[in-house]
Structure 1
Amino acid sequence: MSEYRHPYRDMQFVINELLGLDQFCQRFDIEEVNSELANAILEEAGKLGETVLAPLNRSGDEQGATLTEQGVQQTAGFAEAYQQYVESGWGSLTARAEFGGQQLPNLLGTAVNEVWQSANMAFGLCPMLGQGAIESLTHHGSDELQLLFLPKLVSGEWTGTMNLTEPGAGSDLAAIKTRAVREGDHYRITGQKIFITWGDHQMTDNIVHLVLARLPDAPAGVKGISLFVVPKFLLDSDGNPSEANDLKAVSLEHKLGIHGSPTCVMSFGDDGGAIGYLVGQENKGLAYMFTMMNHARQAVGLQGVAISERAYQHAVDYAKERLQGTGADGAQVPIIRHPDVRRMLMQMRASTEAMRAVAYLASMEIDRANHCSDAEQRLQHQGRVELLTPIVKGWLTEMAQEVTSLGVQVHGGMGFIEETGAAQYFRDARILPIYEGTTGIQALDLVGRKNLFNGGQLVASLLNEMEQTLTDLDSTNETTEVIAAALRSALRDANEAQDWLLEAASKDEAAAGSVAVNFMMLFGYLSGGWMMARSALQAQAMLETGSGDAEFLQAKLVTARFYCEQLLPRTAGLLSAIRSGSDSTMALDDDQF
């Protein structure tokens, strides 16, 4: 089993050189935050990831969580690891200072979260859900709810969950049947929720559930959903956990992967009703939950980067050690010297670096939107966040399927054997395109709410910015010439796909839905290519000035070129598929399938 090494140098490059953290902080007068601090944070996160979380990854997969009479029992070692996480203050990085947070840029929190997810994705899901709960309560909770729950959530002393899905209501939240009945200053919640990540455990003395439920007199459909805080333990007059609330995990799902993360069936109100507290206004819950959901969608996309990085490291280690075939001297050689193995490793590497850059870019757009004082600029950055979110969630998680599958392939037959460890990353990654909205849902969001509904304005703005990168590429350098040609071609494909969609959607009601995933994947590859082109520009400039690690920068140029030569041309095939429209997709009757 290979050890996890957190990719500090590439993270540092993307944060400091590509996205310009120092310039960002200076522009918005964010004092005491700079690249030096970022580097120190990344180093410390790497220590916890490498020495504490990564060693538990295998045991979490093999032993997993269990359901006992006392509730869900987490994998041995997870509670101690979580305590170290809390004591080091990691949960408070980006939260507001008024609730005990450090109020650092979202970009830094994203990079740190990648470390947890790479080192141990099953573990990393627990604080990820807590961060989402913090986000929702910060934006929508009353002063009283914030005072009661946010300090403990921010510190990590309590964890959070998101309770949406029900047995008869998957992505269709309008079908939710969980009920909430008014009772004085609180509500009684009854119903069942499924697929609740870290819905129960023994690592903290309370768990804060955010639960969607419907009032008896609520309007039909999604307009009648409300959001409630339902703690595992009710709080006494001092704000400390006391009496157990009427909720419990009744079973654990038996899953393909992430076995260390308990996925619970939660029952609320078996003995009269769980006590819950309304977040915001009645019947506005879906909008509030989407604050948490959109946070989770970017976080899940980041998991795609993280698990790809882990699979890549594992494959590289194996390829350097596995001897097969002979060299010119007749001696056996490691398989990393075989061209096809190198092709697979380069594809894994280039994909992961492009994915990381796109994920971090989307994260920084949140920071830009949060810190802009100019209302128009803030709207522009918020629009970019909204446009990139389905790409981050959809494209990155789909790419993780390919990267982790290649990790198995590099191992050959041994990749199919659990003992080598490669299969775990493949299995763990498979949930990513499903939860927090499937790939199809992300694609529909991209072509619909984020594109057609605004007449393509958000897409046009992004394409215009990408065009500017083309003008910055130095045509006298062979590498940047290759990158420029590939980016120019992909941009042409994207513009043609956009023109086709805007026209076809007005004539064929099935057009947008039929081509949505291909459209999203095209823009994913394009976004990755754009960021790799920008990376190449930055690496070239640093080489010319003699700043930075020359070996790393040369490798960055090679990786960017490989991406643009081998992966970016996929936009042409996706454009061809888009142009085919909905005819063959919709032609068969239901009974013909």
Structure 2
Amino acid sequence: MADYQVPLKDMNFLLYDVFNAEKLWQSLPTLAERVDRETADAILQECAKIAEQEIAPLSRNGDEVGVSFKEGKVSTAPGYKAAFDTYAQGGWTSLGGEPAYGGMGMPKMLTAFHEEMLCSADISFSLYPGLTAGAGLSLAKHGSEALKQRYLTRMYAGDWSASMCLTESHAGTDLGMIRTKAQPQADGSYLVTGTKIFITAGEHDLTENIIHLVLAKLPDAPAGPRGISLFLVPKFHVNDDGSLGEQNQVSCGAIEHKMGIHASATCVMNFDGATGYLVGELNKGLACMFTMMNFERIGVGIQGIGAAVRSYQNALEYAKERIQGRALSGAKSPNAEADSLLVHGDVRRMLLNMKAMNEGSRALSTYIAMQLDITTYGEGQAQQKAEQLVALMTPIAKAFFTDLGFESTVAGQQVFGGHGYVREWGQEKLVRDTRISQIYEGTNGVQAMDLLARKVAGSQGQLVTVFIDEVRAYIASEQTTAMQEFIQPLAQAVTALDDLTQDLLSAATESKEVLGCAANDYLHVFGYTAMAYVWAKMASVSLLAPADSEFHASKIHTARYFYARLLPRCQSLISAAKAGPATLFDIDDALF
């Protein structure tokens, strides 16, 4: 496997040239006090070092050794504890946290790149601090001051980590069916009883305490999701002076033996009358947990990007060095036994697919991160618009990026040929690790339904109009001759998305099943269209660069490739989305 190299130049290009992050930060008073270009550059450079030098080297052994389970205790792979300590001591566990509780309060545009670096280095490692960051976000927004002072400060310090406990054996997507109970106590605490499965980082040896955010119901709670509450349940009780007391009635019953992410502990967690503390309001727990889940869904999307980037780097290095066959147009290296794989059109197709999708995904992720920053720190109409775009884009970030990420890891494996299927090159690990990203934090089918049924149909198309109006305004502002090769197909793609949206909303008045049948195709049409938008932005900046800039020349060529060979995928997706529900539902269940 090629040594991981953080694409810092591309990250800086997106921050400062495409999205004018420095100007945005200065326009938002809170961020203006925290971050400038010098600070941001230092953060990215130092994060790149720890990702490349400390975390990436653990990935191979972490996959092969995995985590071990004995007598209720989980041990992580060799080197993980030392790497996590180095990571925490560097302050990385506090990067996006609230400054009032020890966090650095950095914008999402920076923390998203930090997440990508960790995921490219090792998805398994990234999950431990990633879950803690998400839990910290939920606790900061919904927790009481006492809970934040006692627990959040230690989570930001990296002394304690966190998990989120939602899923039960009978209740995955349908959380309204959960059976975990919380019994109120006279002192204001609750006794939480139940079993949760698939709990990432539920038990491990990286931190001295683990803070579980647990969904449960009071005995008299309303049925379904309206009766869910959220509780903070620590592994160890915390004394008034902040020291750790006895272990709570929380235990790990088993760990899962998984297809991938072997170095991440995925646990069965038992709560046997464990003391917990209410986070937010009673029966409003799902809303509190969604603060974390939406963070994690975007983070899982970034996992797809991170894995795809590593796949591309591996495959490109291999394709350059591997000699095999001759170019159809004649030998390119006549003095060698064969030409490199790069002379073959199909290999170039796979590599350029990866390159175009990776750079487009990173750009779209940065655009979404920018909306999150405006949502958090902005005000007025700009903030309202950003909130609408975040709601619209969150399921796209999770599902589209992970679908493309898995496609790219498989494509990288294909470039390697047989060597991609055996363990020595490490490429098959990326395929295994990335597959879960399409499943957890809400399967990609659920994300598609969230987009089309809840966000698009639920707003009668108004959320889509916010995005389409922005893109059309951009198109109107970019009417130079040089940009027409990108602007014209972008305009066609946006019109096609608009038409598809209206067609599906109209058809759904006759049959709601239209939404479920078209959701996956619709999400991908939206994803490619949104990616075309950010590729146009990157092309516009690159066209103004010096003619001898290889970086910008590569951007322009890759943008042309995206528009010529990837954006046309929308045509078949639109046809499928419009096909209607009959072909899915007219077949009797017995005929499957």
- For normalisation by structure 1, the TM-score amounts to 0.96
Task: Please state how far the C-alpha of 1:489 moved relative to its aligned partner.
Answer: 2.5
Residue 203 of structure 2 corresponds to: 200
The 5 Å alignment of 1:81-230 reads 81-184=83-186, 185-230=188-233
The 5 Å alignment of 1:154-553 reads 154-184=156-186, 185-269=188-272, 273-326=273-326, 327-328=331-332, 329=334, 331=336, 332-374=338-380, 376-477=381-482, 480-543=483-546, 550-553=549-552
- SS of the equivalent of 2:163 reads strand
Task: Please state how far the C-alpha of 1:564 moved relative to its aligned partner.
Answer: 1.1
The CA deviation string for residues 178-203 of structure 1, in whole angstroms up to 9 with x for no partner, is 11111222111111000000111011
Aligned residue type for 1:87: Q
Q: Is the 8 A contact 1:212 1:225 kept in 2?
A: yes
The CA deviation string for residues 172-230 of structure 1, in whole angstroms up to 9 with x for no partner, is 10110011111222111111000000111011110000000111111111111110000
- SS of the equivalent of 2:193 reads strand
Q: Is the 8 A contact 2:123 2:303 kept in 1?
A: yes
- SS of the equivalent of 2:225 reads helix
- Most deviating of 281-290 and 328-337: 328-337
The CA deviation string for residues 62-94 of structure 1, in whole angstroms up to 9 with x for no partner, is 110010125000111000000010010011112
User: Could you tell me how far apart the structure 1 residues matched to 2:364 and 2:493 are?
Assistant: 16
Aligned residue type for 1:528: M
Q: Is the 8 A contact 1:74 1:201 kept in 2?
A: yes
Aligned residue type for 1:63: V
Task: Please state how far the C-alpha of 1:128 moved relative to its aligned partner.
Answer: 0.6
- SS of the equivalent of 1:181 reads strand
Q: Which runs of 5+ in 2 are unaligned?
A: none
Task: Please state how far the C-alpha of 1:309 moved relative to its aligned partner.
Answer: 0.3
- SS of the equivalent of 2:587 reads coil
User: Could you tell me how far apart the structure 2 residues matched to 1:65 and 1:366 are?
Assistant: 35
- SS of the equivalent of 2:339 reads strand
User: Could you tell me how far apart the structure 2 residues matched to 1:373 and 1:503 are?
Assistant: 34
Residue 558 of structure 2 corresponds to: 559
Residue 13 of structure 2 corresponds to: 13
Q: Is the 8 A contact 1:315 1:411 kept in 2?
A: yes
User: Could you tell me how far apart the structure 2 residues matched to 1:470 and 1:138 are?
Assistant: 39
- SS of the equivalent of 2:454 reads coil
Task: Please state how far the C-alpha of 1:31 moved relative to its aligned partner.
Answer: 2.9
User: Could you tell me how far apart the structure 2 residues matched to 1:294 and 1:160 are?
Assistant: 16
User: Could you tell me how far apart the structure 2 residues matched to 1:310 and 1:358 are?
Assistant: 18
The 5 Å alignment of 1:549-588 reads 550-588=549-587
Aligned residue type for 1:266: M
Task: Please state how far the C-alpha of 1:32 moved relative to its aligned partner.
Answer: 5.2
**CA root-mean-square deviation:** 1.3
User: Could you tell me how far apart the structure 2 residues matched to 1:287 and 1:104 are?
Assistant: 24
User: Could you tell me how far apart the structure 2 residues matched to 1:233 and 1:336 are?
Assistant: 56
Task: Please state how far the C-alpha of 1:474 moved relative to its aligned partner.
Answer: 4.8
Task: Please state how far the C-alpha of 1:19 moved relative to its aligned partner.
Answer: 1.2
Aligned residue type for 1:476: T
Aligned residue type for 2:343: R
The CA deviation string for residues 371-415 of structure 1, in whole angstroms up to 9 with x for no partner, is 2232x3322111111111011011111111111110100001111
- Most deviating of 31-40 and 210-219: 31-40
User: Could you tell me how far apart the structure 2 residues matched to 1:285 and 1:216 are?
Assistant: 15
Q: Is the 8 A contact 1:21 1:34 kept in 2?
A: no
User: Could you tell me how far apart the structure 2 residues matched to 1:294 and 1:354 are?
Assistant: 21
Moved over 4 A (4+): none
- SS of the equivalent of 1:177 reads coil
User: Could you tell me how far apart the structure 2 residues matched to 1:142 and 1:250 are?
Assistant: 30
Q: Is the 8 A contact 1:490 1:572 kept in 2?
A: no
User: Could you tell me how far apart the structure 2 residues matched to 1:519 and 1:274 are?
Assistant: 44
Residue 55 of structure 1 corresponds to: 57
Q: Is the 8 A contact 1:350 1:560 kept in 2?
A: yes
Q: Is the 8 A contact 1:85 1:91 kept in 2?
A: yes
- Most deviating of 337-346 and 107-116: 337-346
- SS of the equivalent of 2:438 reads coil
User: Could you tell me how far apart the structure 2 residues matched to 1:378 and 1:70 are?
Assistant: 47
User: Could you tell me how far apart the structure 2 residues matched to 1:501 and 1:149 are?
Assistant: 47
- SS of the equivalent of 2:509 reads coil
Task: Please state how far the C-alpha of 1:144 moved relative to its aligned partner.
Answer: 0.8
Q: Is the 8 A contact 1:486 1:565 kept in 2?
A: no
Q: Is the 8 A contact 1:198 1:261 kept in 2?
A: yes
Aligned residue type for 1:194: I
User: Could you tell me how far apart the structure 1 residues matched to 2:565 and 2:525 are?
Assistant: 14
Task: Please state how far the C-alpha of 1:330 moved relative to its aligned partner.
Answer: 5.0
1:44 to 43, 46, 67: 46
Q: Is the 8 A contact 1:163 1:210 kept in 2?
A: yes
Task: Please state how far the C-alpha of 1:475 moved relative to its aligned partner.
Answer: 4.7
User: Could you tell me how far apart the structure 2 residues matched to 1:236 and 1:179 are?
Assistant: 25
Q: Is the 8 A contact 1:209 1:231 kept in 2?
A: yes
Task: Please state how far the C-alpha of 1:171 moved relative to its aligned partner.
Answer: 0.6
Task: Please state how far the C-alpha of 1:115 moved relative to its aligned partner.
Answer: 0.6
User: Could you tell me how far apart the structure 1 residues matched to 2:507 and 2:479 are?
Assistant: 37
- For normalisation by structure 2, the TM-score amounts to 0.96
Q: Is the 8 A contact 2:388 2:466 kept in 1?
A: no
User: Could you tell me how far apart the structure 1 residues matched to 2:369 and 2:182 are?
Assistant: 35
- SS of the equivalent of 1:542 reads coil
Q: Is the 8 A contact 1:212 1:226 kept in 2?
A: yes
Q: Is the 8 A contact 2:228 2:286 kept in 1?
A: yes
Q: Is the 8 A contact 2:453 2:516 kept in 1?
A: no
